[in-house]
């Protein structure tokens, strides 16, 4: 059997990995100068955390999450599957009675396990334990009353009972529902609350980097395991200067990485005072043009009308252009906040485009939202998304006054864009290929390799002896800058032969001269 990486995930190999390291290292440096510190987070959390923060109705949570039940009750799982697969005929009374016994024995075991706290003690689980015996009781009552007189009625009740029992068994949870994280803001906020970070002085400024998981349709710039570099500011202030500084930090990073053609789009999507009224207004207008919209947008009229503004469908563009705009429906506070964000960006000399259609796919955003696009990415051209999420800390059970703002860079896309623009990997480069011939030369070569590496040179030392031609051929193919050769002659004379592979020029040098020579060519 030949194994392959799973659809939508990929390996990042050298020399690309060098560019990844450079991007991540640069982010650490720049973010550090803005007073941000790294937080390392788990890659899985309770599904409930994501559902609550990102939103139950978002694609990310409802369709794209990788989730599983975390437990070690394998035996329970097996008994449940067996009970789930049992089929019974309505006239098979003995079979039915045996099934009832088996299910009730199983439920008794579940109940004990529930009491011992081995399975999650949720109200749902408790309800199921109570419900199953009730279904059987009801079933038996029906049987006693109807079995002779109305067989067809009995048949129906029988089927209903079986389905009821199986559904209940199926929804019993043996363990916590965990999910691979589709993004990290929820985890940052969870950690902030869990560790009581609101008591820390000033704003809490954190950054993270790592893989995220979404079961999307894979294409260029869209993967099922992708990477994000993100940062968050949490604290009691929602001053627009914070928004602007977070964006300044981002733009500084992109500039340092020489990302060309990045465009910053900004918008304000209001808050809980003004957005609900706008959403209703939008919904009402969308109802009027319902028939002209595609299936996705039609569905979103009910679930999330703001997302219709995000439509990329050609035929919907003219319709969207005529919809009411959030900018004209902001409350005074949101309008003032947005105006000040723009002034603060101007103070920092940051150019932006206002984009009234910019809404984000996650429920927790409010007021300032922004997105940065970059060239060379086709339709997946957003390299970074972010915004304010002032209510999120409270929503997840933290202190009500806490405000938040952050962003997430799509590292894969950032790197694709850099590569398209020719800002590819810097050659790591092998400085020295150390060819040795004979046992005594190997001893000398091991020592020399150690001293060269200690001085920072990249050295390749063959592990076994090779023929001269083969060894120097390998040095060529590895694109070494120099071959340093040690054989009997060199040992006798206390020198090495150094050959510059670009032009073949060679000379014999003592060790101090060798170091000098290599440093000069650095
Ligand atoms: P998009 O509109 O492109 O789907 P998004 O709004 O879902 O992006 P966010 O959840 O805001 O994205 O995540 C921030 C950034 O993470 C995006 O701008 C993008 O660069 C990157 N990103 C999101 N999903 C993926 C993915 N499946 N593969 C690669 N990068 C992604
Ligand atoms: Mg998306």
9 CA to middle of ligand 2, Å? 16
Three-class SS state of 30 = helix
Ligand 1 pocket test, pick from 385, 411, 416 with the greatest ligand atom count within 8 Å of Cβ, gives 385
β-strands 382-388, 366-373: how paired?
antiparallel
| Ligand sitting nearest the alpha carbon of 228 | 1
β-partners of residue 356 are: none
Task: Say if residues 393 and 418 touch (Cβ distance below 8 Å).
Answer: no
Q: How distant, in Å, are the alpha carbons of 100, 115, 158, 171, 172 from that of 103?
A: 5, 18, 15, 15, 13
β-partners of residue 68 are: 178
Task: Say if residues 404 and 452 touch (Cβ distance below 8 Å).
Answer: no
β-strands 263-268, 353-354: how paired?
parallel
Task: Say if residues 370 and 364 touch (Cβ distance below 8 Å).
Answer: no
Rounded Cα distance between 398 and 78, Å, is 40
User: Which of 306, 229, 324, 375 lies closest to 57 in space, CA to CA?
Assistant: 306
Rounded Cα distance between 454 and 329, Å, is 65
Question: The tokens of 84 are what?
Answer: 């789930």
Burial 188-208 (b: 16+ CB within 10 A, else e): bbbbbbeeebbeeeebbbbbb
Atom of ligand 1 nearest to the CA of 371: 18
Rounded Cα distance between 136 and 416, Å, is 60
| Ligand sitting nearest the alpha carbon of 413 | 1
Going by alpha carbons, the residue nearest to atom 19 of ligand 1 is: 410
Per-residue confidence in pLDDT tens, the chain, 522 aa: 899 999 999 999 999 999 999 999 999 999 999 999 999 999 999 999 999 999 887 889 999 999 999 998 889 999 999 999 988 887 788 888 899 999 999 999 999 999 998 898 889 999 999 999 999 998 888 777 766 665 666 778 788 888 999 999 999 999 999 999 999 999 999 999 999 999 999 999 999 999 999 999 999 999 999 999 999 999 999 999 999 999 999 999 999 999 999 999 999 999 999 999 999 999 999 999 999 999 989 998 998 899 899 888 889 999 999 999 999 999 999 999 999 999 999 999 999 999 999 988 677 889 999 999 999 999 889 999 999 999 999 999 999 999 999 999 999 999 999 999 998 766 668 999 999 999 999 999 999 999 999 999 999 999 999 999 999 999 999 999 999 999 999 999 999 999 999 999 999 999 999 999 999 975
Q: What is the pTM of this model?
A: 0.88
């Amino acid at each position: 059997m030949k194994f392959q990486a799973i659809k939508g995930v990929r390996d990042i190999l050298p020399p690309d990995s060098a560019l990844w390291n450079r991007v991540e290292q640069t982010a650490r440096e720049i973010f550090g100068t803005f007073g941000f510190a790294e937080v390392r987070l788990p890659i899985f959390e309770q599904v409930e955390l994501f559902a609550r923060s990102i939103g139950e109705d978002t694609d990310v949570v409802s369709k794209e999450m990788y989730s599983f039940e975390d437990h070690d009750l394998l035996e329970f799982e097996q008994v449940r599957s067996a009970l789930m697969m049992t089929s019974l005929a309505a006239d098979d009374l003995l079979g039915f009675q045996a099934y009832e016994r088996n299910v009730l024995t199983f439920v008794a075991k579940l109940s004990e396990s529930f009491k011992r706290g081995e399975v999650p003690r949720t109200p749902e689980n408790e309800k199921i334990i109570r419900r199953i015996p009730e279904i059987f009781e009801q079933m038996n009552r029906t049987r006693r009353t109807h079995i002779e007189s109305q067989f067809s009625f009995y048949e129906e009740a029988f089927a209903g009972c079986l389905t009821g029992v199986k559904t209940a068994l199926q929804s019993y949870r043996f363990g916590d529902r965990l999910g691979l994280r589709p993004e990290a803001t929820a985890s940052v906020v969870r950690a902030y609350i869990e560790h009581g970070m609101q008591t820390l002085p000033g704003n809490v400024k954190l950054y993270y980097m790592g893989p995220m998981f979404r079961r999307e349709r894979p294409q260029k710039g869209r993967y099922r395991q992708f990477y994000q570099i993100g940062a968050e500011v949490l604290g009691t202030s929602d001053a627009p200067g914070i928004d602007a500084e977070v964006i300044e930090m981002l733009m500084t990073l992109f500039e340092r990485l020489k990302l060309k053609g990045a465009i910053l789009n900004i918008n304000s999507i209001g808050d809980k005072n003004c957005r609900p009224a706008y959403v209703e207004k939008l919904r009402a207008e969308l109802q009027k043009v319902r028939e002209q919209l595609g299936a996705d947008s039609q569905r979103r009229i009910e679930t999330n009308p703001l997302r219709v503004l995000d439509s990329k469908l050609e035929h919907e563009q003219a319709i969207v252009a005529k919809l009411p705009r959030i900018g004209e429906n902001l409350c005074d506070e949101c309008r003032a906040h947005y105006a000040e964000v723009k002034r603060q960006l101007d103070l920092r000399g940051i150019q932006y485009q206002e984009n009234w259609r910019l809404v984000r796919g996650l429920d927790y955003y409010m007021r300032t939202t922004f997105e940065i696009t970059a060239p060379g990415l086709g339709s997946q051209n957003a390299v970074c998304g972010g915004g304010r999420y002032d209510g999120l800390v409270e929503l997840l059970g933290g202190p009500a006054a806490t405000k938040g703002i952050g962003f997430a860079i799509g590292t894969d896309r950032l790197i694709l864009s850099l590569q398209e623009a020719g800002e590819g990997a810097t050659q790591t480069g092998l400085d020295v290929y150390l060819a040795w011939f004979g046992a005594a030369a190997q001893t000398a070569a091991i020592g020399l390799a150690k001293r060269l590496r200690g001085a920072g040179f990249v050295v390749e030392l063959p592990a076994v002896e090779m023929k001269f031609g083969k060894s120097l051929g390998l040095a060529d193919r590895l694109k070494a800058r120099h071959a340093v050769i040690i054989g009997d002659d060199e040992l006798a004379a206390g020198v090495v032969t150094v050959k510059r592979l670009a032009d073949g020029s060679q000379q014999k040098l003592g060790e101090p001269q060798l170091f000098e020579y290599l440093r000069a060519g650095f």
